[in-house]
């Protein structure tokens, strides 16, 4: 039985902010396969191509037939909790700070037995639903939840360590002028967050509208280093989740563009905007990764899927976003020290003005907002939103050259 | 007659016999710039990036790199800015005559009308009424339109509505007349442009730009402190940056008047 999470009390200003510690980091190269699956929100294990057996933990050769042909394969997520134990005085600093910590052995329906972190409502001999979660160190960890629904399941203490739930967290949505920004802000309020929304150039007309009714609108122009720094000076110490919804899209390729003014705009809105936000908000977030129920938890980027494969019709925009993807990997490494995760969403063309002439399917801003909340609540790191994004993902994996030729046509 | 001694001028400034008024808005990142539909190229706002501030990037010194458009903040429009002036000689900020950078100004106070009507238009009749009181506008003078617009908040200053900006400015007839019949050196405003906010609907569109630059004359915009100038008798110092083939330039505009 999980008690519902309570709104955290105000901090005692006389107490030191607890420094983040991380669970053990070491994993083998093969073990990284599971980290990939966890990042994508899949329950996948190595499966032997020769004998068909699933294996866990990660191996270099199949423990059954010694084949080296072990592929990451989606696995059925059912299992049974065979035994459990509570670790009361762990030697590891991270778990010691969070003790008592419950773990157990789960016999998977697909074969192997795994040692997993346990949701409080998992009982011995009962069926469980397995997932691979990214822990605070960004590594895959097996997690067992009850097979059925239970009350306040998402409020479980150990589960919350493995996610970045927005409930009772304070969120900054960077662009309240965009449809995605407004939908995101509204969705986060509905998910239990307290939301600040940035508005650039407040001298331009702005109707907050219904979507932002429960949010606090603040001035934020990501292209202006000072504006970003000023906002961080005000609220940087209490931004637990930052959602970078830049969304600066301009159609046009490279050599058809006349000069660089538009391209400079794209770079300052997307790349430099990201840099300004990271430099201003990143340090405090990294320092607050273990700051109680409303600790800093996640940084979310909303990217176009064409950041991963340049679409010539939006060529320079794609390139600016590609630079941001690279930057997000740098930020991910840097925030990891604080246990703060970086979530990248890749969307297909949005149903917004800048994709007006693009035929459907297009992604509704509300679908992006929903995907953001779901990513935070489930703890994943890479999300593809919409049919087009999913198609690009699959084609990149299958044959990136063919995709390049198609998108460059 | 012997040439006047420039040191007399310096002495008059130093003793306060002549007063210097700064007509320039501070260059800040959040100062409104002209807004065009987003598919057009845009004027860059001011951006200030620290190079170092007595820190690891440069321990003993503070300095910035700045970026901004030629038409950002208090700025000067050269004839080459508009198509009507594109083929004139010496039409860019690097080639315009230096003598034009120091010239007298007439100030027409329309702050009352502008307060009552954001779309207030300066007309020929209004200028002629001003001339009744203050005398004919001499050739080679600046004409400055005082609206007290510079005292507004950024949002009211830009005053953008669904149908565009609503800010005061001159009508087409008065611009043609000021340029052709009065031979003015240029026209200056407190608003973002020399033209009214709705001037794209005028005939011709943007008449201040059209007539001024077509005749090799200049524009000044985003001025402030015009309420501290007399109707006549002030001189303006308006030296744009010497940008290669520049269409305009942010600049410090100073007025010298009697106290």
Domains of chain B by residue range: 6-257
Task: Answer yes or no: pTM beyond 0.90.
Answer: yes
Confidence of residue A32 (pLDDT cuts 50, 70, 90): very high
Q: Give contacts of B65 with chain A, Cβ < 8 Å.
A: none
Show which residues on chain B lie within 8 Å of chain A, measured between beta carbons: 29-30, 32, 35, 39, 41-42, 44-45, 47-50, 153-155, 157-158, 160-162
Of the residues B47, B53, B64, B192, the best mutation for testing chain A's interface (the one with the most A CB atoms within 10 Å of its CB) is: B47
Last residue of a domain, one of A116, A138, A161: A161
Judgement on whether residues A44 and A140 belong to the same structural domain of the protein: yes
Predicted local confidence at residue B2, as pLDDT: 86
Task: Name the closest residue on chain A to residue B69, using Cα atoms.
Answer: A261
Distance from the B192 Cα atom to the nearest Cα atom in chain A, whole angstroms: 13
Judgement on whether residues A206 and A312 belong to the same structural domain of the protein: yes
Judgement on whether residues A270 and A379 belong to the same structural domain of the protein: yes
Please check whether residue A2 lies inside any domain of the structure.
Answer: no
The reply to whether residue A205 touches residue B161, judged by beta carbons under 8 angstroms, is yes
Of the candidates B41, B42, B154, which has its C-beta nearest A203's C-beta?
A: B154
Judgement on whether residues A71 and A175 belong to the same structural domain of the protein: no
Please check whether residue A362 lies inside any domain of the structure.
Answer: yes
The reply to whether residue B160 touches residue A226, judged by beta carbons under 8 angstroms, is no
Of the candidates A223, A259, A261, which has its C-beta nearest B47's C-beta?
A: A223
Q: How many CB atoms lie within 10 A of CB B186?
A: 29
Of the residues A177, A203, A263, the best mutation for testing chain B's interface (the one with the most B CB atoms within 10 Å of its CB) is: A203
d(CA A228, CA A226) in angstroms, rounded, equals 5
Predicted local confidence at residue A246, as pLDDT: 86
The residue with tokens 């915009």 is B221
Task: State phi, psi for B132 to the nearest 5 degrees.
Answer: -55, -40
Q: What single-letter DSSP state applies at residue B152?
A: S
Long-range contacts of A403-407 (CB under 8 A, 24+ apart): A403/A309, A404/A309, A404/A310, A407/A306, A407/A309, A407/A310, A407/A311, A407/A312
Judgement on whether residues A201 and A69 belong to the same structural domain of the protein: no
Range of the domain at A152: 32-161
Confidence of residue B202 (pLDDT cuts 50, 70, 90): very high
Q: Does A10 touch chain B (CB under 8 A)?
A: no
Confidence of residue A247 (pLDDT cuts 50, 70, 90): confident
The reply to whether residue B42 touches residue A203, judged by beta carbons under 8 angstroms, is no
Q: Give contacts of B35 with chain A, Cβ < 8 Å.
A: 204
Distance from the B54 Cα atom to the nearest Cα atom in chain A, whole angstroms: 18
Of the candidates A202, A227, A268, which has its C-beta nearest B155's C-beta?
A: A202
Contact B42, A265 (CB under 8 A): yes
Largest CA distance in chain B: 64
The residue with tokens 């001028």 is B9
The reply to whether residue B154 touches residue A202, judged by beta carbons under 8 angstroms, is yes
Confidence of residue B41 (pLDDT cuts 50, 70, 90): confident
The whole-number average pLDDT for the span A279-298 is: 96
The reply to whether residue A203 touches residue B49, judged by beta carbons under 8 angstroms, is no
Contact A285, A335 (CB under 8 A): yes
The CATH number of whichever domain residue A348 belongs to comes to 3.40.50.720
Predicted local confidence at residue B39, as pLDDT: 86
**Tokens in use for A23?**
């669970």
Q: Tell whether the model's pLDDT for residue A409 goes beyond 80.
A: no
The reply to whether residue B45 touches residue A261, judged by beta carbons under 8 angstroms, is no
CB contact set of A366 (below 8 Å; sequence gap of 6+): A183, A187
Q: Does A221 touch chain B (CB under 8 A)?
A: yes
The reply to whether residue B32 touches residue A205, judged by beta carbons under 8 angstroms, is no
d(CA A136, CA B34) in angstroms, rounded, equals 47
* Closest to A56 (Cα-Cα) out of A110, A117, A102: A110
Please check whether residue A5 lies inside any domain of the structure.
Answer: no
Tell me the percentage of chain B whose pLDDT exceeds 90: 96
Judgement on whether residues A111 and A193 belong to the same structural domain of the protein: no
Largest CA distance in chain A: 69
The reply to whether residue A227 touches residue B29, judged by beta carbons under 8 angstroms, is yes
Judgement on whether residues A133 and A231 belong to the same structural domain of the protein: no
The whole-number average pLDDT for the span B186-195 is: 98
Confidence of residue B1 (pLDDT cuts 50, 70, 90): confident
Q: Tell whether the model's pLDDT for residue B125 goes beyond 80.
A: yes
Mean pLDDT for chain A overall? 95
The reply to whether residue B30 touches residue A262, judged by beta carbons under 8 angstroms, is no
Distance from the A201 Cα atom to the nearest Cα atom in chain B, whole angstroms: 7
CB pairs under 8 A between A and B: 47
Please check whether residue A50 lies inside any domain of the structure.
Answer: yes
CA atoms within 13 A on the CB side of A339: 25
* Tens digit of each residue's pLDDT (9 = 90 or more) over A194-238: 999 999 999 999 887 888 989 999 999 999 999 999 999 999 999
Q: What single-letter DSSP state applies at residue B195?
A: S
Please check whether residue A286 lies inside any domain of the structure.
Answer: yes
The reply to whether residue A226 touches residue B48, judged by beta carbons under 8 angstroms, is yes
Which of A:148-207 have CB within 8 Å of B? 201-205
Q: Give contacts of B41 with chain A, Cβ < 8 Å.
A: 259, 261-262
Q: Which of A205-209, A305-309, A355-359, B43-47 has the lowest mean pLDDT?
A: A205-209
The reply to whether residue A225 touches residue B47, judged by beta carbons under 8 angstroms, is yes
Judgement on whether residues A234 and A353 belong to the same structural domain of the protein: yes
Task: Name the closest residue on chain A to residue B156, using Cα atoms.
Answer: A203
Please check whether residue A241 lies inside any domain of the structure.
Answer: yes
Predicted local confidence at residue A322, as pLDDT: 98
Please check whether residue A112 lies inside any domain of the structure.
Answer: yes
The whole-number average pLDDT for the span B30-42 is: 90
Judgement on whether residues A183 and A268 belong to the same structural domain of the protein: yes
Task: Please indicate whether residue B81 is annotated as part of the active site.
Answer: yes
Task: State phi, psi for A369 to the nearest 5 degrees.
Answer: -60, -45
d(CA A156, CA B47) in angstroms, rounded, equals 46
For A213, counting Cβ atoms within 10 Å of its Cβ (0-12 exposed, 13-18 middle, 19+ buried), the class is exposed
DSSP states of A1-32: -PPPPPPPPPP-TTSPPPPP--------TTTH
Q: Give contacts of A261 with chain B, Cβ < 8 Å.
A: 41-42, 44
Judgement on whether residues A208 and A289 belong to the same structural domain of the protein: yes
Predicted local confidence at residue A129, as pLDDT: 98
Of the residues B30, B37, B45, the best mutation for testing chain A's interface (the one with the most A CB atoms within 10 Å of its CB) is: B30
Q: Tell whether the model's pLDDT for residue A1 goes beyond 90.
A: no
Last residue of a domain, one of A128, A161, A194: A161
Confidence of residue A341 (pLDDT cuts 50, 70, 90): very high
CB contact set of B5 (below 8 Å; sequence gap of 6+): none
d(CA A312, CA A306) in angstroms, rounded, equals 9
Choosing from B81, B206, B209, B210, the catalytic residue is B81
The reply to whether residue B30 touches residue A223, judged by beta carbons under 8 angstroms, is no
Distance from the B155 Cα atom to the nearest Cα atom in chain A, whole angstroms: 4
Q: What total of structural domains would you count in chain A?
A: 2
The reply to whether residue A225 touches residue B48, judged by beta carbons under 8 angstroms, is yes
Q: Give contacts of B192 with chain A, Cβ < 8 Å.
A: none
Contact B20, B13 (CB under 8 A): yes
**Tokens in use for B115?**
């307060």
Task: Name the closest residue on chain A to residue B40, using Cα atoms.
Answer: A262
Task: Name the closest residue on chain B to residue A205, using Cα atoms.
Answer: B160
CATH number for the segment(s) B6-257: 3.50.30.50
* Tens digit of each residue's pLDDT (9 = 90 or more) over B64-94: 999 999 999 999 999 999 999 999 999 999 9
Last residue of a domain, one of A139, A161, A183: A161
Task: Name the closest residue on chain B to residue A200, using Cα atoms.
Answer: B30
Of the candidates A219, A224, A261, which has its C-beta nearest B47's C-beta?
A: A224
Please check whether residue A10 lies inside any domain of the structure.
Answer: no
Judgement on whether residues A253 and A150 belong to the same structural domain of the protein: no
Judgement on whether residues A65 and A189 belong to the same structural domain of the protein: no
The whole-number average pLDDT for the span A331-353 is: 97
Q: Model ipTM?
A: 0.90
The reply to whether residue B41 touches residue A227, judged by beta carbons under 8 angstroms, is no
* Closest to B117 (Cα-Cα) out of B169, B154, B163: B169
Q: Give contacts of A225 with chain B, Cβ < 8 Å.
A: 47-50
Q: Tell whether the model's pLDDT for residue B10 goes beyond 90.
A: yes
């Amino acid at each position: 039985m999980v008690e519902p999470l309570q709104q955290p009390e105000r901090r005692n200003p006389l107490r030191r902010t607890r420094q983040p510690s991380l669970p053990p980091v070491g994993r083998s190269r093969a073990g990284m396969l599971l980290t990939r699956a966890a990042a994508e929100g899949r329950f996948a294990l190595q499966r032997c191509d020769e004998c068909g057996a699933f294996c866990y933990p990660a191996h270099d050769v199949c423990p059954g037939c010694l084949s080296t042909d072990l592929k990451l394969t989606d696995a059925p997520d059912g299992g049974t909790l065979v035994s459990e134990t509570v670790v009361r005085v762990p030697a590891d600093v991270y778990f010691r700070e969070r003790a008592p910590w419950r773990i157990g052995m789960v016999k998977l329906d697909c074969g192997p037995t795994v040692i997993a972190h346990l949701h409080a409502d998992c009982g011995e001999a009962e069926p469980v639903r397995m997932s691979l979660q990214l822990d605070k160190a960004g590594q895959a960890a097996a997690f067992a939840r009850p097979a059925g629904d239970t009350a306040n399941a998402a409020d479980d203490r150990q589960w919350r360590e493995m996610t970045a739930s927005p409930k009772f967290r304070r969120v900054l949505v960077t662009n309240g002028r965009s449809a995605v920004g407004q939908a995101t802000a509204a969705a986060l309020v509905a998910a239990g967050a307290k939301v600040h929304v940035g508005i650039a150039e407040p001298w331009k007309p702005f109707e907050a509208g219904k979507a932002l009714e429960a949010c606090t609108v603040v001035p934020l122009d990501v292209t202006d280093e000072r504006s970003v720094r000023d906002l961080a000076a005000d609220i940087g110490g209490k931004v637990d989740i930052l959602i970078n919804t830049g969304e600066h899209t301009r159609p046009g390729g490279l050599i058809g563009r006349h000069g660089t003014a538009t391209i400079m705009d794209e770079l300052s809105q997307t790349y430099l905007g990201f840099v300004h936000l990271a430099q201003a908000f990143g340090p405090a977030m990294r320092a607050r990764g273990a700051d109680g129920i409303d600790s800093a938890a996640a940084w979310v980027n909303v990217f176009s899927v064409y950041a991963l494969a340049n679409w010539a019709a939006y060529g320079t925009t794609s390139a600016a976003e590609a630079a941001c993807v690279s930057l997000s990997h740098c930020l991910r490494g840097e925030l990891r020290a604080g246990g703060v995760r970086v979530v990248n969403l890749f969307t297909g063309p949005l149903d917004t003005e800048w994709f007006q002439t693009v035929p459907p399917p297009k992604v509704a801003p509300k679908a992006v907002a929903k995907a953001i909340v779901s990513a935070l609540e489930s703890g994943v790191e890479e999300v593809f939103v919409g049919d087009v994004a999913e198609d690009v993902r699959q084609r990149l994996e299958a044959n990136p050259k063919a995709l390049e030729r198609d998108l460059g046509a | 007659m012997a040439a006047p001694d420039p040191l007399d001028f310096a002495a008059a400034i130093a003793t306060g016999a002549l007063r210097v008024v700064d007509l320039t808005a501070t260059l800040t990142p959040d100062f409104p710039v002209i807004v065009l539909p987003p598919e057009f190229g845009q004027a860059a706002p001011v951006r200030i990036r620290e190079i170092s501030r007595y820190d690891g990037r440069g321990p003993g010194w503070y300095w910035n790199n700045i970026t901004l458009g030629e038409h950002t903040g208090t700025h000067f429009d050269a004839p080459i800015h508009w198509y009507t002036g594109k083929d004139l000689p010496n039409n860019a900020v690097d080639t315009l005559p230096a003598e034009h950078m120091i010239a007298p100004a007439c100030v027409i106070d329309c702050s009352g009308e502008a307060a009552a009507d954001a779309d207030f238009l300066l007309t020929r009749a209004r200028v002629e009424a001003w001339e009744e009181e203050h005398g004919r506008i001499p050739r080679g003078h600046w004409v400055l339109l005082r609206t007290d617009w510079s005292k507004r908040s950024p949002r009211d200053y830009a005053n953008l509505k669904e149908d565009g900006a609503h800010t005061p400015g001159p009508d087409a007839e008065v611009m043609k007349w000021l340029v052709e019949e009065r031979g003015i050196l240029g026209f200056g405003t407190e608003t973002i442009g020399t033209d009214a906010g709705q001037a794209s609907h005028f005939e011709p569109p943007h008449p201040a730009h059209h007539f001024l630059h077509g005749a090799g004359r200049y524009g000044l915009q985003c001025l402030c402190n015009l309420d501290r100038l007399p109707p006549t008798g002030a001189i303006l110092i308006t030296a744009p940056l010497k940008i290669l083939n520049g269409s305009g330039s942010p600049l410090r505009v100073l007025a010298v008047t009697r106290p």
